[in-house]
Structure 1
Amino acid sequence: MQSILICLFIAVLMPIIVKLPLAIAQHKAGGYDNSLPRIQQSQLTGFGARAKAGHENAFEALIFFAPGVLALVGMSAVTHQAVLYAQIWVVARVIYHLFYLINVHILRSVSWAVSYAMSLLILWQAIQMAGVTLE
């Protein structure tokens, strides 16, 4: 169970960690505007715009990942398979963000799909462990 909780911890930290490239882009665009950062972010182009989109997507991905992990942990039903899915999710999300920053859109989409699939597999495993039937 410790491994899946570490993956969840990384997932929760990821939106903040991936904000660093966005903050750098904002700094390069005339200094970080702490009074109106969202307006400044909306005016970024190129690398900065991709960094902003990646930052926002990190929050969105967390919404799909966390419920399944929390359900498994709450039921004390974490399996080796679920841990593997969570680890793949973390790796795919890191790769996703790197591809976003360097503008490799096809591989970015593939890594997004992998991470989304892992979220679904974790949630599906929680559903199965709870004994839910689709009748």
Structure 2
Amino acid sequence: MTLANYCLIIAGVLPILCAGLAKSKGFGKHRRDGGYDNHDPRGWLNRQSGWQARANAAQANSFEALPLFVAGVLAAQQMQHDQSRIDLLAVSFIVLRLLYVAFYVANVAGLRSAAWIAGMGVSIALFFV
């Protein structure tokens, strides 16, 4: 299995990690005390604010960015492009997505947008390596 394939797995798990981060402040508390509500998880998340709301938004965006990245990696490999370049771009995407999540949760909008743009550029570049 290639490094790029491992990156596909990481990219697929990243939204779930963002969801866990968004829900983490509510773990261990009773629902009546504002704790995480597994009976209405989306409603509970919609009522959150601050870094939890931003982590939830990062989750949604991570799902949105996933298809183009997956398609880019698979297309590049199917076209038998240089695997080391595919791996480099795939790792770059993961690093940029991790930075994106960190910037989003920290409320650093300018750097978050820059990381998003660069990540999209990497996904597109995979089709042309």
Report the TM range for the smaller structure's normalisation.
0.7 to 0.9
Give the alignment partner of residue 60 of structure 1, picking from 54, 57, 64.
64
Supply the RMSD in Å over aligned alpha carbons: 1.8
The equivalent residue for 1:80 is 84
The equivalent residue for 2:4 is 4
1:63, CA displacement in angstroms? 1.5
Q: Distance in 2 between matches of 1:124 and 1:26?
A: 44
Q: Which moved more, 1:87-96 or 1:76-85?
A: 76-85
**Tell me, what secondary structure is at the counterpart of 2:113?**
helix
Q: Which moved more, 1:30-39 or 1:67-76?
A: 67-76
Q: Distance in 1 between matches of 2:70 and 2:82?
A: 13
| Residue ranges of structure 1 left out of the alignment (5+ in a row) | 126-135
CA offset digits 1:100-130 (Å, max 9, x no partner): 01111100111111111000000233xxxxx
Contact 2:77 2:86 survives alignment (8 Å)? no
TM-score (norm 1): 0.84
Q: Distance in 2 between matches of 1:119 and 1:19?
A: 23
1:26, CA displacement in angstroms? 4.0
Give the alignment partner of residue 112 of structure 2, picking from 104, 108, 113.
108
TM-score (norm 2): 0.87
The equivalent residue for 2:13 is 13
CA offset digits 1:54-111 (Å, max 9, x no partner): 0111101101200111223334435322211111100000000001011111001111
| Residue ranges of structure 2 left out of the alignment (5+ in a row) | none
Contact 1:61 1:116 survives alignment (8 Å)? yes
Q: Which moved more, 1:98-107 or 1:75-84?
A: 75-84
1:36-55 equivalences in 2 (<5 Å):
36-55=40-59
1:35, CA displacement in angstroms? 1.0
